[in-house]
Amino acid sequence: MRLVFLGTLLVCGVAAQQPGPVLSAVIPQYDSAKRNFVEAAEAMPEAEYQFKLTPAQRAWADWVDHTAGMNLRMCSQMKGEAAPAQSNGADKSKPALVKAIRDSFEYCDGVMKAMTDEAAVKEVSVGQRRTTPLALMVSQIAQLNSHYGNMVGYLRVKGITPPSTARAQGAAKK
């Protein structure tokens, strides 16, 4: 509890927990990657969700599904618990997969909001190895950016401007 004097008025309140320097650096990167990914999932027309750049590559739907699962696994590892089940199952439709990716990010948002710098550097077990939530966060951000980078090619081949490019172009016009 802290006491603050405002003129002659005494105000009692609990200071809101501010992120420390570690999470202040990491969370904006996560938020940016999340925004790009969700907007990309929404930008691709439903008719193109089974599109592959080449036969050996994942279909667009599989990138979205894979990333939703990755989010659930990595964020549950940050918490030191089993990953929640994915909600979409075998449904590879755009509505189901956009919901699945949004749900996975919602789960991760809760993990990130509950994290402190101290907890971020405390070791957790992931299978047979030890790591930290911070290492998992950095890895997740790298994976999200890598997956988005792959997906940019799919969007461009279909004549769709990637969300990050559209924002940058919009900012340049102002």
Predicted confidence (pLDDT) at residue 121 exceeds the cutoff of 80: yes
pLDDT at 87: 67
Q: Is the predicted pLDDT of residue 51 greater than 50, yes or no?
A: yes
Share of the chain above pLDDT 70, in %: 87
Q: Is the pLDDT of residue 57 over 90?
A: yes
The per-residue pLDDT for 99 is 95
Cβ within 8 Å of residue 165, ≥6 positions away: 152
**What pLDDT is recorded for position 30?**
97
CA dist 87 → 15, 97, 101, 103, 149 (Å): 37, 9, 10, 8, 25
Helix (H) or strand (E) holding 10: strand 9-13
* C-alpha to C-alpha distance for 42 and 46, rounded to whole angstroms: 9
Name the percent of the chain lying above pLDDT 90: 76
- Asked if 162 and 152 touch (Cβ cutoff 8 Å), the reply is yes
Query: Given pLDDT bands bounded at 50, 70 and 90, which one contains residue 102?
Result: very high
Domains along the chain?
18-165 (1.20.120.450)
pLDDT value at 33 more than 60: yes
pLDDT class of 17 with cuts at 50, 70, 90: low
pLDDT at 11: 44
Residue 85 confidence (pLDDT) above 90: no
Phi, psi at residue 119, to the nearest 5°? -70, -35
**How much is the average pLDDT of 92-97?**
94
Q: Residue 5 — pLDDT band, cuts 50, 70, 90?
A: very low
Give me the pLDDT at residue 88, please: 57
Q: Which residue has the tokens 């929640």?
A: 84
Judge whether residue 10 has pLDDT over 60.
Answer: no
